[in-house]
Structure 1
Amino acid sequence: MSVSWVFRACMLFMLMLSSWGAVSAADVSGTYEPGEVIIQYNDIGSGTAVVSVASSLNAQIGAETILTEEILGVKGLQVVKVPDSMSVPEAVEYYKSNEYVAYAEPNYITYLPNPTDDSGITEENLDIADVPMNFPNDPGFSLQWGLYSNNTTNVSTGRSDIHAPEAWNVSTGSSDVIVAVIDSGVDYNHEDLAENCLSGYDFVNSDTDPMDDNGHGTHCAGILGAVTNNNLGIAGVSWNSKILPVKVFDAAGTSNTVLEIQGILYASEMGADIISCSWGTYYNSEILKEVIDNTPALFVCSSGNDGYDTDKIPHYPSGYDSPHVISVGASDESDLKAWFSNYGVTTVDLMAPGVSIYSTTPGSYGFKDGTSMAVPFVAGTAALIKSEKPANEPVQIKNLLMSTVDKKYWLNQSCVSGGRLNAYNALSQVLPLQADFSANPASGTIPLNVQFTDHSTGEPTKWHWSFGDGYESTTQNPVHLYMKPGRYSITLTVSNEGLSSVAEKENYIHVKPPYQPVKAFPDGTGGNYPTPTDPDDDGLFEDINGNGWLEYDDTKLLFNQILFAMKEEPIGQFDFDGSGFIGFGDVVKLYQMV
């Protein structure tokens, strides 16, 4: 959902209020359509039986059926208009009290925030001279930091973008994958969207013209699936997936539960694999959840823009406990949670770029902020995965997206996965190419000669080994000689026709100092302490006093006997700091180990 400057000012005021007291769920109440109630009847046999029960209940209070199950497409679902003499809450309780009614609730209204328009940066300002040649040639690509950022000031150890160029080496998407944008419609005539847009539907006006008269839906559509590498406009996350425009929000950015249900059922009927939902409310519609759960698509949903902890103040549909729903918060170019983004350790699944996002707008291009913008980054990545693994179910795609994020410790308290979307990490897990290897021996004393064996699948044609000690190799099954004690992490990168896969094993090779017998330290009375031992079999004799465990007395004894150790003992076994000789640095290191 886009964030206006007015909304930001309101948020600052709310933050001031929150210093006096916590925000509660009651503070975020919404509205509903006047006089309308949604009713879901239990399965009581034939449709005639449902009609009979519904007619009887409606007649008793003078309610009129305005939408039937035939129109809505859900068995037993109806929308009624109650008389002015009865309030909506009273009518809801009336219907819920009947044994044949599964759910009854108001027709909740959902609002899109006012759109944030162009920031004044246009394509004429671009400088793409340093964009690598294998990147798409769209002139607006260098403004799309969420796809690729050359920001060198972010607080993370790497880039804050979704690593799209790397992902595009694996897949640019398939036209067989359909992503429904349930929103304010889409400018399907836009120069950078037309080729990827399917015919959709407008449920606001009940016609086949889902043209966007708000701007929100067009911006989201461009992020996930703009036509890419066409020397025009911007790049989309999925270059080739099809966009299904489904208009359920009007020009003012207003919708309701019934419109949303109709849009979801239509998207499902049209074969949507992924449904992009850049909207939400704080009302919990049980009927909407049931429709989502019974729809065979992945729902990518925005977590909301109010800065709330949604573990305490639930947001829907992002907060539904459903395997079909993945909830997305917004991150900024410094890889931090966007100031406006809702968050939740159990209710927000992952973060994605959502600040100063450049994309299509009706007839043009512009920037917007919001968790709405973060959603299509995830939806587009899901489309790339679906294009490579068409049989993957929504829960499989969801788990893959969450398990391959770039983890950031500062996001641990913001979302379930503790990280930001990484499209390449996700795509690398569905590659036909998978790196794997073994080593023999994996442990021993110097000099240690190790045979590395490639076990990669997918018929790689190139190999690149990093042995952890500064040496590398490009042979398939190299032999490497280690001459310095330590623990070494090994990395193998394999590639084939532009695809690559990486396998890394941390501290995999254990090289011990050459074994030499050690002497007992003199105890100052003409005798000796017990012989030092190596409790963890790492070639270092940390147990200086030989009593079988590590303790402060070992440090004290080494300090007192340092001259003896320097002259009498083998260097390797007591070189705890790796300096190449025995000295007081080893006492300090041993103390730290204790």
Structure 2
Amino acid sequence: MKVTVTDFLNVRVGKASLNAPTYQYLAPGTILEVEDATYNGDVFEGSNQWLKDKAGNYYWAGATTYSVAGIINPACYDAWHLKDYKIKALHDKGLNGQGTTICIVDSGIVATHPGFDYTKISGKGFMDQVITNDYKDDHGHGTECAGITSANGKKVLGIAFEANLRAFKGYSNISSEEVDMICAIENIPLDVDVVSISYVFVDVKLLDRMTRAISRLINANIIVIAAHGNTDTPPNLLSSIPGVISVGAVDEKGQYAPYTCKNGTFTVLAPGVNIQTTNKTGYTTDTGTSFAAPFVAAIFALLRQTDKTFSPAQALEYINNNHTFSKDGSKKIIDPSAILKF
């Protein structure tokens, strides 16, 4: 395939590494003939994806017009949460999250997963309220959430597959403390577009601190999405914070998923039953409001792609004015085509 160089780019000889020998500096506009496949290599500016030509030269893909769209398996669109919500039609219009940033506050992400090839990933860890560069997911939940927003389409496809992804790790398989998750939220950079949090907060003693952290984001024009919680949890305190879009789950038949927490109030339903996504070691199908929240986050990343000034208040208004209803007529279901005016 042919790609175009978009920024000054070194040709690396024999290895997908920043330390490999280089013999030429390519200027923007240079046309390259490279293999269709991408290769994992050194991470630069959040991407570890490299291209290779027949001579064995490597090129960091981030400085070319290479697009994730080129590797999408069309069968991915058969997943019900993509097919029934007409996501392919949005992608065909160029709505894929390009130029936006989604921050997922969860258990981190397995950034080397083949399902995230060329996904622009960066992140931080906040275990014990200590900020580190370790955001590797040893639990698995964060990687499942990230697949819904950002998977590349080899096996499953994220709705906003061209968006930048920031993984903020606030818990692990051995430690889950609300204060660590709040610390992660407090440190989210104010240049992100959408935040997705699939974690249930229940400690009322921490509500004031959490409210301040969330209000900081909303006041900075960042759209905050939260999973409302499942039947085995109390209602998520995040759902009570003004400006937060709280999400329950709907199934393939348009029915309000009965496992969505009945206590408290939530804003909208989104697909959260039998959702195909990535996991720590491969791919999986999972169920929960945890997976409905990143669906909504990705839709608003597509909207922020078209309008960077679009506000959290407008997001709530769009949901209220553009939705369908669950089969029993009692709950709002997100309508991506209406929200995006397609």
Q: What is the TM-score when the length of structure 2 is the normalising length?
A: 0.72
The code of the aligned residue for 1:359 comes to T
Write the deviation string for residues 249-276 of structure 1: whole angstroms up to 9, x where unpaired. 112461222x22221132234x221110
- Show the counterpart of 1:423: 336
CA contact (8 A) 1:307 1:339 kept: no
2:317 alignment partner, SS class: helix
The code of the aligned residue for 2:118 comes to E
Higher Cα radius of gyration: 1
- Show the counterpart of 2:91: 168
CA contact (8 A) 1:357 1:373 kept: yes
Per the alignment, do residues 385 and 315 of structure 1 end up closer, same or farther by CA in structure 2, a change over 3 Å counting?
same
What is the CA distance between 1:365 and its match in structure 2? 0.5
- Show the counterpart of 1:353: 271
Give the one of 230, 241, 248 matched to 1:305: 230
What is the CA distance between 1:135 and its match in structure 2? 12
- Show the counterpart of 1:533: none
CA contact (8 A) 2:97 2:302 kept: yes
- Show the counterpart of 2:247: 328
C-alpha distance in structure 1 between counterparts of 2:232 and 2:255, whole Å: 13
- Show the counterpart of 2:152: 227
- Show the counterpart of 1:273: 193
The CA RMSD over aligned residues, in Å, is 2.4
- Show the counterpart of 2:302: 384
CA contact (8 A) 1:283 1:315 kept: no
1:195 alignment partner, SS class: coil
1:192 alignment partner, SS class: helix
Matches within 5 A, 1:436-447: none
Give the one of 396, 415, 421 matched to 2:314: 396
Structure 2 residues without counterparts, runs of 5 or longer: 1-68
Q: What is the TM-score when the length of structure 1 is the normalising length?
A: 0.42
- Show the counterpart of 2:132: 207
CA contact (8 A) 1:162 1:421 kept: no
C-alpha distance in structure 1 between counterparts of 2:318 and 2:230, whole Å: 25
Q: Does 2:291 match 1:291?
A: no
CA contact (8 A) 2:140 2:280 kept: yes
C-alpha distance in structure 1 between counterparts of 2:95 and 2:227, whole Å: 24
- Show the counterpart of 1:145: 80
- Show the counterpart of 1:342: 261
What is the CA distance between 1:225 and its match in structure 2? 1.6
C-alpha distance in structure 1 between counterparts of 2:197 and 2:309, whole Å: 22
C-alpha distance in structure 2 between counterparts of 1:408 and 1:335, whole Å: 5
What is the CA distance between 1:139 and its match in structure 2? 5.9
C-alpha distance in structure 2 between counterparts of 1:235 and 1:171, whole Å: 15
What is the CA distance between 1:191 and its match in structure 2? 1.3
1:213 alignment partner, SS class: coil
C-alpha distance in structure 1 between counterparts of 2:320 and 2:142, whole Å: 25
Give the one of 119, 137, 142 matched to 1:217: 142
- Show the counterpart of 1:64: none
What is the CA distance between 1:136 and its match in structure 2? 8.6
Per the alignment, do residues 248 and 196 of structure 1 end up closer, same or farther by CA in structure 2, a change over 3 Å counting?
same
- Report 1 or 2 for greater relative contact order, CA contacts < 8 Å, sequence distance ≥ 6: 2
Write the deviation string for residues 396-429 of structure 1: whole angstroms up to 9, x where unpaired. 12321332112246141xxxxx32112111111x
CA contact (8 A) 2:72 2:152 kept: no
C-alpha distance in structure 1 between counterparts of 2:224 and 2:73, whole Å: 29
Per the alignment, do residues 189 and 289 of structure 1 end up closer, same or farther by CA in structure 2, a change over 3 Å counting?
same
C-alpha distance in structure 2 between counterparts of 1:223 and 1:267, whole Å: 20
What is the CA distance between 1:142 and its match in structure 2? 5.0
What is the CA distance between 1:143 and its match in structure 2? 5.4
Per the alignment, do residues 223 and 350 of structure 1 end up closer, same or farther by CA in structure 2, a change over 3 Å counting?
same
Q: Percent identity, aligned pairs only?
A: 24
C-alpha distance in structure 2 between counterparts of 1:142 and 1:170, whole Å: 15
Structure 1 residues without counterparts, runs of 5 or longer: 1-133, 149-160, 413-417, 429-500, 502-594
- Show the counterpart of 1:191: 114
What is the CA distance between 1:287 and its match in structure 2? 1.4
- Show the counterpart of 2:105: 182
Write the deviation string for residues 329-371 of structure 1: whole angstroms up to 9, x where unpaired. 0111111111211246x72111011111110112311111100
2:82 alignment partner, SS class: coil
What is the CA distance between 1:167 and its match in structure 2? 2.4
Deviates more, 1:185-194 or 1:299-308: 299-308
What is the CA distance between 1:391 and its match in structure 2? 1.0
The code of the aligned residue for 1:240 comes to E
The code of the aligned residue for 2:187 comes to Y
- Show the counterpart of 1:437: none
CA contact (8 A) 1:330 1:354 kept: yes
Give the one of 181, 196, 206 matched to 1:260: 181
C-alpha distance in structure 1 between counterparts of 2:292 and 2:175, whole Å: 18
Write the deviation string for residues 55-74 of structure 1: whole angstroms up to 9, x where unpaired. xxxxxxxxxxxxxxxxxxxx
CA contact (8 A) 1:180 1:244 kept: yes
2:102 alignment partner, SS class: strand
1:146 alignment partner, SS class: helix
The code of the aligned residue for 2:333 comes to R
C-alpha distance in structure 1 between counterparts of 2:187 and 2:78, whole Å: 34
CA contact (8 A) 1:301 1:326 kept: yes
